[in-house]
Chain A
Amino acid sequence: MSSAVPAVSGTPAPGAAGDPTGRPGPGARRPRRSRRGRETTSGWLFLAPMLVILGLFLVVPVLMALWVSVSDWNGRGSPFAGDVSFVGVDNYRSLLLGGGLATQDFGTALRNNAYYVLLVVPAQTALALFLATLVNRKALRGRGIFRTAFYFPSVTSSVAITVLWLFLFSASGTVNAILARLSITGPNWFNEPRGVLHLLLAQVGVDTAPAALAQHGFLGIPLWEWAAGPSVAMTAFILLAIFTTSGTFMLLFLAALQAVSAEVEEAALVDGANARQRFFRVTLPMLKPTVFTVVTLGLIGTWQVFDQIYTGTQGGPAKTTLTPAYLSYTAAFQNNDWGRGAAIAFILFAIIVLMTVLQRVVLRERTTIPRRKRFHPEGPR
């Protein structure tokens, strides 16, 4: 392809000479090649504005941040000035292996966010799919209203909805008032740092750490703390995320459901599949690409959770809603530890890429259907 480019630029200016087909040359292939070359050129031309914008506002800042993450820049003046020096992986090492407060904070943030992802992604995907199948039914009256209603939280500003949540889940808020009607004393949601799993374990009498879990740790915090589960405060954020995002993903599922042709459904019906089988063995496999999209978007979004934390709790109570994204922000902007802030961001990036690759492997298209998933276990006859 690239060899075609000089050929194009070598041709006289447009309008000056005839078109290339009229010229004597090395045969009939030449014009096709130069035409493709011109297409390449125009392709690049059309891409150019986007490349410039992406380069300027994405690639260059990312590279700058990468430099900051391996430098000792202290936030004053240019990170490329002479007095800023290269410190190798020091920032990464103090985060991951230092064992000090930086490591503990990062470990806590990772734990909090891991539970958040673990609960939000499956729940929002399942709920979105459920809502989509509901509003996809032709028999449902006022489908439009339901579609709008379910989608509505997604178009509301996340700050506004977080503030709403703070009111709903305050100690004397609506949620606790409803729980009180049911004779349940609700927790002080956003001020309750105890982990849900710890609370459940306390119910069965395990309220102190077994020695094995207390003594061993990872990223500066003991395994017993890793096993705390999301705090009650984080649980409120988890509910918030499920509530706001399932509408968005419902839309994706709805579009995919509408693309599933009625014939397929009908064929399954004729084959004697019941409703449950039709959904899990026929419809769901056809939605696989959409499931992949939704889970990917969900993973990325949940690992990056920031605005709810920033407006809601700022990491409290007792750091149980601290997330890597928020930690990166405070490390850089509030503590002027820019190298650490950038390093956190890059580790977060690595985690997201890893997760996405992992789930791509899990959800990849298989050429054969596993036996247990076959409608006809013996295979097609």
Chain B
Amino acid sequence: MRTIPTRRRRPAPALGATALGAAGLLALTACGGSGFDEGGDTSSDGGSSGSLSVLIGSSGDAETDAVTAAVAAWSEESGVEATVQVASDLTQELSQGFASGDPADVFYVSADQFQTYASNGSLYPYGADLDAADDFYPSLVDQFTYDGELVCAPKDFSTLGLIINTSAWEAAGLTEADVPTTWEQLTDVAGRLTTDGQVGLGISGEYARVGAFLAQAGGTMTDAAGTEATVDSPENVEGLTYVQQLLASGSAAYAADLGTGWGGEAFGTGAAAMTIEGNWITGAMENDYPDVAYQVAELPAGPAGQGTLQFTNCWGVAADSSAQSDAVDLVQHLTAADQQLAFADAFGVMPSVQSAADGWKEMYPEMTAFIDSAAFAQNVVNARGAADVITDFNAQLEGLKTGDPAAILGSVQTNLQAVLDENAS
């Protein structure tokens, strides 16, 4: 019996251990706290030491390989090590990086996230350091300007064009001269292309496609200064009403209603004879629907002339990066005209610099409509917090066929104005 208490006494020093454990816990939590703290003060030294990490959101192997090769070539030249990482969810990984104070040095920033990151100081504004800043398309520079300065260099851009299935076109008895240049002609050819099991025009039911019609009607989402929402303007109502008429006539349909995921799929599977997509569709056509012959035309003009939407990304450099000068140097290399043409060759993107436009047209003579559309392209809304508004707009657009265009635009107007007011305050 006596041995039992003796044995049980062993844990006596364990109290110390428990206390130690508790202290350790405190120490660890303190660590956790301070780990969060780091980076706040490392931000400003723009030294040029260590290696660079590049975080990209890739469209596929072609893009990954091309970027990796370009970065490797720069490393060779500059002697600075750099690694390319592909994010599976770029927005999420960037957010985590900024929160931890240890983000990647160079990364893609999409236009709709740009204002958010620029406003909280996550991005290092280096536009002034670039040699060829004047060569970028002015509308792209607008997109990435915050507080009057160019924050990050446009990486490349895309515009929307009208994609036409040539065999369906011929089957409907249409010729080259029938390619629509006005809304009336678009209505007409869409009707003639509509057959049993094929609609004339199949598009994704979202602002990023439907918005092109608003631009053609002369509408915008905000005023030039970006402080007042102009969503419920008569021009926008006219544009959206036209889309509604197209949908109601049965000669146009949303891709989702055709049982497909996006316009390209509706087009590739033959559910739609025409679609409105950007130049990324070429990759999908090549991989998934190599047998479908198609041509690309500029979008038809509305009452206010031609209009389309453009989408772009920029090369962000982290404010918390410890190698900012190297990072800017890398971006300089990546946005040079010849490097952009190399990217264009590898995965079809359109260069963000005007001097490369002719080279691109030579490379893709059948796609010139896309790059020519840059002349009348409108930027998409990118105000901080506007992503929610656009999501809501998209949700409402799904019900456009039976909905009231003015009511839809009215609610978006209210929501967007609230966001803009909040940003201004």
Binding site for B on A (CB under 8 A): 5, 8-9, 11, 13-14, 19-21, 31, 35, 38-39, 41-42, 44-45, 48-49, 51-52, 55-56, 60, 64, 74-81, 100-102, 104-105, 170-172, 188, 191, 193, 315-319, 332-338
Contacts and interface: CB of A to CB of B under 8 A. Distances in A.
Given A74-B120, A75-B95, A101-B418, A13 B29 contact: no
Interface in B84-112: 91-92, 95-96, 98-99, 101
A49 B17 CA distance: 11
Nearest to B123: A76
B32 interface: yes
Given A19-B9, A191-B256, A318-B398, A80 B95 contact: no
Interface string B372-405: 0000000000000101110110111011000000
Contact of A42 (B11, B39, B319, B385): B11
A285 B204 CA distance: 54
A8 B8 CA distance: 11
Contacts of A318: 395-396, 398-399
A317 B256 contact: yes
Interface string B69-92: 000000000000000000000011
Given A55-B29, A75-B99, A188-B259, A316 B395 contact: yes
Interface in B195-222: none
A41 B14 CA distance: 7
A146 B6 CA distance: 54
B37 A80 contact: yes
Interface stretch (B20-28, B238-246, B351-359): B20-28
Contact of A41 (B15, B38, B116): B15
A41 B11 contact: yes
13 contacts: A38-B12, A75-B98, A76-B320, A77-B36, A77-B320, A100-B415, A171-B259, A191-B256, A333-B92, A333-B95, A334-B95, A334-B387, A336-B116
A35 B18 contact: no
A41 B40 CA distance: 42
Given A8-B15, A75-B99, A76-B120, A334 B396 contact: no
A60 B29 contact: yes
A174 B11 CA distance: 64
Contacts of A49: 21
B284 to A, nearest CB: 18
Contacts of A55: 25, 29
A81 B418 contact: no
Contacts of A188: 256-257, 259
B42 to A, nearest CB: 10
Contacts of A44: 14-15, 18
B32 A60 contact: yes
B194 interface: no
A52 B24 CA distance: 8
A38 to B, nearest CB: 5
B60 interface: no
B121 interface: yes
B259 A170 contact: yes
B13 interface: yes
Nearest to A318: B395
B281 to A, nearest CB: 21
A77 B101 contact: yes
B98 A76 contact: yes
A334 B390 CA distance: 13
B25 A45 contact: no
A351 B16 CA distance: 41
Contacts of B320: 76-77
A51 B258 CA distance: 55
Given A56-B29, A60-B29, A333-B91, A105 B388 contact: yes
A35 B8 contact: yes
A335 B18 contact: no
Contacts of A104: 392
B32 A31 contact: no
Contacts of A75: 95, 98-99, 120, 122
B257 A5 contact: no
Contacts of B32: 56, 60
3 nearest A-B residue pairs (beta carbon) = A171-B259, A74-B120, A78-B36
Q: Which of B9, B36, B415 has the most CB of A within 10 A?
A: B9
B12 A35 contact: no
A316 B419 CA distance: 22
Contact of A332 (B95, B101, B391): B95
Contacts of A334: 91-92, 95, 113, 387
B323 to A, nearest CB: 18
B95 A56 contact: no
A42 B28 CA distance: 23
Contacts of A79: 36, 99
Contacts of B11: 38, 41-42, 45
A48 B418 contact: no
Contacts of B5: 19-21, 31, 35
B87 to A, nearest CB: 12
A76 to B, nearest CB: 5
B15 A76 contact: no
A38 B36 CA distance: 39
A52 B39 CA distance: 26
A318 B21 CA distance: 51
Contacts of A336: 95, 116-117, 120
B8 A45 contact: no
Given A188-B259, A336-B120, 13 more contacts: A8-B9, A13-B12, A39-B8, A42-B8, A42-B14, A76-B120, A77-B36, A77-B40, A101-B389, A101-B392, A319-B392, A334-B92, A334-B95
A45 B13 CA distance: 10
A56 B10 contact: no
Contacts of A315: 391
Nearest to B418: A100
B173 interface: no
A64 B101 CA distance: 16
Nearest to A39: B8
Interface string B294-322: 00000000000000000000000001100
B148 interface: no
A70 to B, nearest CB: 17
Contact of A38 (B9, B391, B395, B396): B9
Contacts of A80: 33, 36-37
Nearest to B388: A101
A333 B396 CA distance: 23
Nearest to A104: B392
